[in-house]
Structure 1
Amino acid sequence: MKPVDPRLFRAARSSVSHLAITVLLGTITAVLVVVQAGLLATAVARIIERRGTSGLSPLLVALTIVVSLRATTSWAQEVAAHRASAQVKSQLRRQIVRHATRGAADPAQSARRAEVAALAGGGLDALDGYFAKYLPQLVLAVVVPAVVLLQLLRTDVTATLTVALTLPLIPVFMVLVGKATEAANARRWDALARLSHHFLDVVEGMPTLRAFGRGNAQADLVRESTDQYRSSTMATLRIAFLSSLILETLATLSVALVAVGVGLRLVDGGLDLRTGLLVILLAPEAYLPLRQVGAHYHASAAGLAAADAAFTLLEAPQPAHRGTASLPGGPLVVEMSQISVRHRDRDTPAPDHADLSLRAGEVVCLTGASGSGKTSLLTVLLGLRTADEGTVTLGSAAAAVPLTDVDLEAWQRSIGWVDQTPYLFHGTLADNLRIADPRAGDAALVDALQRAGLPIALDRQVGEHGGELSAGERRRVGLARALLRRAALVVLDEPTAGLDSATEDDVLRALRAEAARGAAVLLVSHRPAALTAADRVVRLP
């Protein structure tokens, strides 16, 4: 990435104002550096020439004020940088989660869930080093040397030429070291992403691995991934230490050249004491910001690598859905005509030119052989992907609106969706239900549970992935979520799979009640009871 990547500021446009404040404060700091050096040189020269401290009080007061202003300016610059960092991280996290949600139906995107978790979690926190340290120092590295050189030009042309000729050496070596650092950090981020993917897969598959006696064998593989991450991190640190040594050596030698020249001319009488002191005080200030940039670059390189990975994820192509139209009024009518969805690993579409009609007050059962495209048809209906062929319209024939023209978020808010394996997180049952409606009261939650045939306490603890519930209870919690929304369209993927006949009857009665309320109900199922309970059955070939 570039030292100032415009994508970071496009991600959070409000942070541009903080960048402008950083530039302004950097300019003020540069002026204060010159003023402080002038006051200090004048004070020291008077002490030596007058052999006393008389008349120094005004200079000391002015020097105290300047030092205080420098400290205040540095504090304000750091505050502005931290706020910019917080805004950029917040916006990037929202965009990453939104992008991951929109691509949930894409296998290539869902396979990167560990990378998404690493980025949206602690990965982007590394940007603090970029905004709080590197970026303000980069501004100072541009402004301070320019102001110092202008002051030196007014004071001593010889010293100005020495500084002007040696100053570019530091950026040249910074670029060379920066390329090595960038490559090392890219390798470190890749190692972290692989470790995240592997660890997540091992944790999720541990019951299966233990069942086949392969649980302990995974420890060696995790250890190998961890060692790769440790090695790449230590390689980055080695480069950081070596680069700091190189930049410090260059800066020290450059300041020494200026000091030797000033000393010789002082002895020769060609330079007065105050001017010589001012040059010696200003010369290190010209090199210091560049040295600090090199040091802070390594602290920010991890953040730059994480940001680059975030933008790579965000720039991945997704089906465009820019509809803004409102949902049609009246009872819901959905017409899916000649829908075909192509897949990377198949030669033929699935579904292939399928038709499906849904109407309010009706229960439709979608069935078909495994691989016929039932789930793909649902993802098109839910707006999670775009069909390669065919159309989806909402509303009656006289006022039908293509789904691609409708506001996607408004459409999805009108749907109650029950997956084959509803996701449950650690917390109470009430917490898991309120995903569907955060403002729902306890009475509404109890009603939804009763209609789903699951009369259990709202304060019952639920483990990650519903670890404290049976498979049937997890499915009915998902159903209760859908019922809680009182949505216009209820879509269920195999809602009765694995349930006993009595529980299945309860679920189907709840779906019939939703249709009687005026909702359109679509369930995917092979179960005879579900086929019997439906008003219509649509079979995919």
Structure 2
Amino acid sequence: MNRRPFDPRLLRRVPAARRDLAVLALLGVLAAGLIVAQATALAAVLATAVDGRLNRPALAGFAVAVLARSALVWAQGTVSARVAATVKAALRADLLGAVGRHGPGWVAGQRAGQLATLAGRGLDALDAYFTGYLPQLVLSVTVPVAVLARVVFADWGSAVIIALTLPLIPVFGALLGWQAQAATERQWRRLSLLGGHFLDMVAGLPTLRAFGRARAQTEVVRRMADGHRVATMKTLRIAFLSALVLELVATLSVALVAVPVGIRLLGGGLALQTALLVLLLTPEAYLPLRAAGSRFHASMEGLTALDEALTISAAPAAPRATEGAATPDGRGEISFESVTVAYERTTALRDVTLTVRPGERIAIIGPSGAGKSTLLGLLLGFITPTSGRVTVDGVDLATADPDAWRRQLAWVPQRAHLFAASLADNIRLGARDTPPDALTTAVRDAALDDVVAGLPDGLETLLGERGHGLSSGQRQRVALARAFLRDAPVVLLDEPTARLDTAAEAVVLDATRRLVAGRTALLVAHRPALLADADRILRIEDGRVTELTPEPTGKVIR
């Protein structure tokens, strides 16, 4: 956790905010000058009023200073709000970019709920930091310096007392801030866990209800929410106590200046205008420090989220190909050369050497967890080999342009993810500029036309999240329609008929046969029907690949 009040990484990661931050600093300097000018003018007005005279120039200067300070406060609020919006938008884009750079393998190791909480509620907490704490932090630097510079020329003795007591506020603020920081980190962890657990619970609610665990999980969420409430109250308790301490220190410091000034004024050792100037400026010297200390606690959650967002978005990803990298030809030969994929707890593939000739249809079988999906993940570029390499038409995928290569792939996963958009937009996911005729052809080839005919708005029907409103078989046919529309030379199918009934399986199989015709295809399969049309059958077990001999019935022999 970064313990500095301002994270310098912010300037490097969000260059668009530099200008507004510079403007905020300039406004802080102007505010300090106006505070001194206002106090000087007011002291002159009051000193002459005691003698029954009105100092009109000083009164006019005071009025102008007050109006200028009001405009300055508005400008500070506007600029700080713009900085907050700029930084939040940039960090959210960076988080999404990090997800895109790292790929599905990295995302699978994160808790989706925690990432969602960070990108939403967490970064929204930066508003309190940029609109409340940061402007006061700037003023806590500029105002005390300006006040000391003015008071030292008016009464150097008071200036010495102010200079000696000013550091007490940041010292006490830092001591209390360390305690508040630890409490805020605990509060943020509890909030992230609560968000992640709640998202997991909502996603798995049908399973929980089927096994009678929904009520128990409700109790778990209630306990987690109560833990977050307790952590929040502890943080607020520290914030209130620190505000009390800072107020007490500031009050005593002002008193140390005010009492000697009053005594010297009564003794005739100090002019009335000078005494008034010192008494007006002294509280202004401590005010920004007190305000910064109290508002720091309100911004702690945002600072914690900022540190986490900067850390996650800066995490190193697998090296990507540079601009101008070679683009493999998907119509060429695919080769796995001594490929090993090892994770922390297991080895998914061990020294796999395999050649896929153009136009071949290869079925991949094996027990669950044997490494079948890992083999497809290597071709998709989602997984990087621990050793060895994968080449397409002689080009190593590790050095190829991943986006250009993926444009030559059609992928039908086990669970096709559909978005909360129209059915047409879901099918056009990989080909946004598809003309209506091509879209209609893809729908027909995927045997999806009867589904479209039964929808209220046809292809423009809006789907719910994850394709709510369609059956599993219909979702798989949407995924096949995507693949048909892609018209790619290489087709990857990861158990497309899994979890389908007999009727849905027959429809998907017919569409799958039309899809792979004339293309290089790798099919992860458990059903015998998928094996019948395969040119070669590979078995993966314990990370090792062996080739089996297909029979016309779809069975295999060694």
Same fold judged by TM-score > 0.5? yes
Counterpart in the other structure of 2:549? none
Q: CA 1:77 to 1:412, structure 2 compared with 1: closer, same or farther past 3 Å?
A: farther
Instruction: Choose the corresponding residue for 2:350, options 349, 352, 361.
Output: 352
More displaced stretch, 64-73 vs 123-132: 64-73
Taking the aligned partners of 1:81 and 1:437, their CA distance within structure 2 comes to: 41
1:127 equivalenced with 2:126 (yes/no): yes
Note the C-alpha offset of 1:146: 0.8
Note the C-alpha offset of 1:454: 1.2
Note the C-alpha offset of 1:183: 0.5
More displaced stretch, 240-249 vs 455-464: 455-464
5+ unaligned residues in a row in structure 1: which ranges?
Answer: none
Q: CA 1:151 to 1:332, structure 2 compared with 1: closer, same or farther past 3 Å?
A: farther
Counterpart in the other structure of 1:4? 6
Note the C-alpha offset of 1:107: 6.8
Note the C-alpha offset of 1:365: 2.5
Note the C-alpha offset of 1:423: 1.6
Counterpart in the other structure of 1:363? 361
Note the C-alpha offset of 1:361: 4.1
Counterpart in the other structure of 2:151? 152
Contact 1:363 1:512 in 2 (8 A): no
1:475 equivalenced with 2:469 (yes/no): no
Please report the RMSD computed on the Cα atoms of aligned residues, expressed in angstroms: 2.3
Q: CA 1:330 to 1:193, structure 2 compared with 1: closer, same or farther past 3 Å?
A: closer
Counterpart in the other structure of 2:490? 489
- Report 1:256-405 matches (<5 A): 256-324=255-323, 325-328=325-328, 331-346=331-346, 349-358=347-356, 361-395=359-393, 400-405=394-399
Taking the aligned partners of 2:268 and 2:330, their CA distance within structure 1 comes to: 97
Q: CA 1:495 to 1:103, structure 2 compared with 1: closer, same or farther past 3 Å?
A: same
Q: CA 1:146 to 1:522, structure 2 compared with 1: closer, same or farther past 3 Å?
A: same
More displaced stretch, 34-43 vs 486-495: 486-495
5+ unaligned residues in a row in structure 2: which ranges?
Answer: 453-457, 546-558
Q: CA 1:292 to 1:534, structure 2 compared with 1: closer, same or farther past 3 Å?
A: same
Residues 119-167 of structure 1: CA distance to partner in whole angstroms, max 9, x if unpaired? 1122111111112221121111111101110111111101101111111
Residues 460-516 of structure 1: CA distance to partner in whole angstroms, max 9, x if unpaired? 343323332211111111222232333343322111223456654544454454455
More displaced stretch, 428-437 vs 215-224: 428-437
Note the C-alpha offset of 1:311: 3.2
Q: Which amino acid aligns with 2:63?
A: T
Counterpart in the other structure of 1:533? 533
Q: CA 1:270 to 1:413, structure 2 compared with 1: closer, same or farther past 3 Å?
A: farther
Q: Which amino acid aligns with 2:145?
A: A
Taking the aligned partners of 1:414 and 1:133, their CA distance within structure 2 comes to: 51
Contact 1:9 1:88 in 2 (8 A): no
Counterpart in the other structure of 1:47? 49
Residues 86-107 of structure 1: CA distance to partner in whole angstroms, max 9, x if unpaired? 2222222122223234444437
1:520 equivalenced with 2:536 (yes/no): no
1:411 equivalenced with 2:405 (yes/no): yes
Contact 2:420 2:464 in 1 (8 A): yes
| TM norm structure 2 | 0.89
Note the C-alpha offset of 1:14: 1.9
Instruction: Choose the corresponding residue for 1:448, options 415, 420, 442.
Output: 442
Contact 1:421 1:475 in 2 (8 A): yes
Contact 1:362 1:515 in 2 (8 A): no
Q: Figure out how many residues of one structure are paired with residues of the other and give that number.
A: 531
Instruction: Choose the corresponding residue for 2:429, options 412, 415, 435.
Output: 435
More displaced stretch, 488-497 vs 408-417: 408-417
Identity of aligned residues (%): 46
| TM norm structure 1 | 0.92
Q: CA 1:496 to 1:258, structure 2 compared with 1: closer, same or farther past 3 Å?
A: same
Q: CA 1:356 to 1:183, structure 2 compared with 1: closer, same or farther past 3 Å?
A: same
Q: Which amino acid aligns with 1:339?
A: V
Structure 1 residue runs of 4+, over 6 Å off? none
Contact 1:452 1:476 in 2 (8 A): yes
